[in-house]
A and B are shown apart, each in its own frame.
Chain A
Amino acid sequence: METFNIFDRLLGENILSALVSVILPLVFLIIYALIAILGELKISAWIQERLGPMRTGPYGILQPLAEVIKLIQKEDIVPAGANRLLFNLAPFVIFAGSFAGFAVIPFTAAFVPAEINIGLFYVFAVGAFAVIGIVMGGWASNNKYSLLGAMRSASQMISYEIPGALVILSAAVLANSLDMQKISALQSGPFWNWFLFGGPGDWSKIWILPFTLLLSLIYMISSFAETNRTPFDIPEGESELVAGYHTEYSGMKFAMFFFAEYSNMFIVAAILTVIFLGGWNSPFGEFMNGFWWGLFWFILKAMFIVFIQIWLRWTLPRVRVDQLMYLGWKILLPFSLVCFIVISLYRIIY
C-alpha cells in the first residue's frame, strides 16, 4: 500500500496542512488520555474485586471529566525556597519530550505527521527529554524526597534506554530501514509477517523466531521501565517517598505530569506496535485492510499494550532500586546483545 500524508493531498503542501498534522495527534492524545484514565480506574477496580467509579455518569463514564475539572480548579502552590523557573518548567519539558515523539508515529498508511527516514532514531532521542524534566522537577522542589525520587528516576531511565536501543537496532537490521512508515508497510499481509514472528520472508525465518519473541519481551520490559510504572515505579514509590518527584506539585502542573505519563504509555505502546505487531496492517491479510481500517487496527493494538501496562501495575509488587539496575544491566543487556548478533547474522546469510 502506498504511503502518503492525506492532508498534503487535501490542503496542499503548505503551513496549513502542517498545522493540522500537529493538532490532530494532540486532539487524539487528549481523547485517549481521558479514556485511559477511565480505563485505569475501572480495570484496577475489577482486578481488586470492587466496582470503581459508579456515580459520575452511568457506570462512572464521566469520571475523567470530573478529574479534569477538579485539577483545573486547584490552587497552584509553589513551595518557598523552590527555584520558580525550573519548578514551573519541569512538567512541560516532560510533556514536550513525549509529545514530540508523536511526530513520527504512523497512525495509518495515509497519515504520518512527519515522514522522516530516521524516524526510529528520532523517537528515541526525543524520549530522553523526559529525564531532564524529571531531574528538574525533583531538584527544583527543594524537598529531599523529591530529590531522591528524581535521582532514582534518572538512573532508571538511562539504564533502561540501552536494551531498548539495542532492540530498536535489531529491528532496523531486520527491516533494513529506520523509517517507521516503511517498517509498517513491510509487515503487510497476514499476521505471520509481523516482525514478532520474524518478518516477511520464507520459512528460513524460523531460525530467528525465538529471538524476535525475546526481543519483543525485552522491549516491553525496558519500555515499561521508561514510563515509570509499577513494577518499576520507584521514582514515585508511594509507600516510600510519598510521591517522589511530583510531591510538591498541585493543580494544573500535576495534571501535566499525569498527562505526560499517559502520553508516554501510548508512545511506548505505539512503537511496540509498529515494530513488532505490524503497525496499521490487518492481521488477516487483505480482509479488513484499508486506510481507515488501518487506523482502527493501529489503535486497537496500541490500546491492547496499554491495557497490559495497566494490568501489570496492579498485579506485581515493586522492584527495589538496586535490583532494578541489576535487571537492566546484567540481564536485559546481555540478552539483547545476543539477539542483535543473531539477527545480524541472519540478515547477512539470507
Chain B
Amino acid sequence: MTTTRFIDIDFSKIESDRMRLNVGPQHPSTHGVLRLEVELDGEVVTNVIPHIGYLHRCFEKISENMNYQQVIPYVDRMDYISSMNNELAYVMAVEKLMDIKVPEKVEYIRVIMSELNRIANHQIAVATFGLDAGAFTPFLYLFRDREYILWIFEKASGGRLLFNYFWVGGLANDVYPTFKEDVLNIVKQVRKTNKEIEDLLIYNKIFIDRTANVGVLPADVAINYGCSGPVLRGSGVQFDLRKNEPYSIYDRFDFEIPIGKGEVGTVGDCWDRNIVRMREMEQSCRIIELAIAQMPNEGDVQAAIPKKIRPPKGEIYFRAENPKGELGFYIISDGKDKPYRVKGRAPSFVNLSVLPEISRGYLFADLIVILGSIDIVLGEVDR
C-alpha cells in the first residue's frame, strides 16, 4: 500500500472550492447522449458546458448523394419523436421550390398527422419533465395515451415512430376507412388525461416549488439566442409560425397561442414552459376537430406527385413550427435530381445553447429540471 506524502501534492493547482462533475453521456435523465460538464460550488452551479456530437450521423453530407425523395427517411430521424412535422417542413420546402400545389385532402391529412404528432411529442415532454422532478406516475399515464396515437400512425403509414409518409407532392398512401372516428376518440382521451395530469402533477405544490422561479429566461435573451417554440412562448413572446407566417392550410383554423404569463412564479420559468406545452395539446385537439370536420373524403393523394423531382436552380429557406420549435430547411438546388446542399436548422440545437445562460446560480437539482424543460432530443441537436 503506497501512501502519498502531503508534501508532494501541489495544493495551489487543486481548485478545492469548485467541483467539476460530469453528467456523462449515459445518464438516466439527459435526454439522449449529451455530456454536460458542470462546475459546482457545493450545490450551486457556476458553469455548464454542453458537449454534443455523440449522435452525429452526417445527415447533411449523406443527403447530397440521395435524390429528394430519398432524403425524407433521413429527415424523419432528425427529431425522431415528431417525425411527421420534420417531414412536413422538408416536403413543403421542396414543393415551394418546385411550385407544386397539392390536393386538398393531402393538406388536411398532413395537418391532422402533424397535430397528432405534436400531441405525442408534448406528452413525452411533460412525462419526462415529471420524471426529472421525481414524479413517476404521470409518465405512465401519458405513455399509455401516446400508444393510442402510435396505433393510428401504424395503421396509416406502417411505422410507429418513423414514417416516410409525406412525399414530395402528396402522401405515400391514403388513410384507412375508420380514420376519422379513431382520431376523434383519441382527442376525447387526451383531454381526459390532461385534466388528470393537471390535478396530479401541474398544480401540485411540490412540483410548483420545484419548477417555479427556476431557470428564468427573459424574452429579449430568448430572442437573441434564437430560441423558438415553447421555450420562446414560455417567456411571454407571442410568436407562432402557424399564426405569424401561416403555411399549409393553418390559416383556415381558429386556434389560440398559449404563452407563459408567470402564473405561479416569474414569466419564463420552467413551469411556464411546461404549461405552454400542456395548453398547446389542448389547442392541437381543437385544430384536429376542425380539420376532421372539414376534411374531404374524396381525392387522390398521389395525384400531384411529379414523375421526376428535379427542382430548378435556386434556393429556399423554409421554416415550420415543430413541437420543439422552429425547424428550418435551407435547400440549394443546382438543377439536378440530388440537392446540392441541405441544411437542417434544428430547434433543439439552438435551444440547447441557452442552457449555460439560464442555469447559472441555481442548484444542481434545478439543472436537471431546466434541461427537461427545454425539451431537447439529441437526434436533432447532432443530426
Report which A residues bind B (CB closer than 8 A).
44, 47-50, 144-145, 148, 230-231, 233-234, 237-240, 242, 314-323
Contact = CB atoms under 8 A, between A and B. Distances in A.
A239 B210 contact: no
A161 B43 CA distance: 23
Given A242-B27, A321-B43, A321-B363, 14 more contacts: A47-B137, A48-B141, A49-B141, A230-B136, A237-B365, A239-B131, A242-B28, A315-B200, A317-B204, A317-B210, A318-B133, A318-B135, A322-B363, A323-B210
Interface string B18-39: 0101000001110000000000
B137 A315 contact: yes
Contact of B209 (A148, A239, A240, A320): A320
A48 to B, nearest CB: 4
B140 A49 contact: yes
Contacts of B131: 239
B134 A317 contact: yes
A317 B369 CA distance: 12
Q: Looking at chain A's contact residues, is the secondary structure mostly helix, strand, loop, or mixed?
A: loop
Q: Looking at chain B's contact residues, is the secondary structure mostly helix, strand, loop, or mixed?
A: helix
B140 A316 contact: no
Contacts of A319: 134, 206, 209-210
A314 B201 CA distance: 12
A50 to B, nearest CB: 7
A154 B156 CA distance: 55
A320 B28 contact: no
B132 interface: yes
A321 B43 CA distance: 9
29 contacts: A48-B137, A48-B140, A49-B141, A50-B140, A144-B21, A145-B21, A148-B364, A231-B134, A234-B365, A238-B134, A239-B29, A239-B131, A239-B134, A240-B29, A240-B365, A240-B368, A315-B135, A315-B200, A316-B204, A316-B206, A317-B201, A318-B206, A319-B206, A319-B209, A319-B210, A320-B209, A320-B210, A321-B363, A322-B43
Nearest to A145: B21
Interface residues on B, range: 20 to 34
Interface of B: 19, 21, 27-29, 43, 130-137, 140-141, 144, 200-201, 204, 206-207, 209-210, 363-366, 368
A317 B141 contact: no
Contacts of A230: 134, 136
B329 to A, nearest CB: 34
Contact of B19 (A144, A237, A316, A322): A144
A320 B208 CA distance: 11
A234 B210 CA distance: 13
Contacts of A148: 364
Nearest to B21: A144
Nearest to A152: B43
A49 B135 CA distance: 15
B298 to A, nearest CB: 40
A134 to B, nearest CB: 17
A107 B200 CA distance: 37
A144 B22 CA distance: 9
Q: A144, A238, A320, A322: which has the most chain B beta carbons within 10 Å?
A: A320
Nearest to B23: A240
Contacts of B133: 317-318
A242 B141 CA distance: 23
B134 to A, nearest CB: 3
A148 B368 CA distance: 15
A234 B365 CA distance: 9
A49 B366 CA distance: 29
A81 to B, nearest CB: 12
A48 B19 CA distance: 38
Given A49-B140, A239-B132, A321 B204 contact: no
A239 B366 CA distance: 12
Contacts of B210: 317-320, 323
Given A48-B140, A49-B140, A242-B27, A316 B366 contact: no
A318 B210 CA distance: 8
Contact of B366 (A231, A314, A317, A320): A320
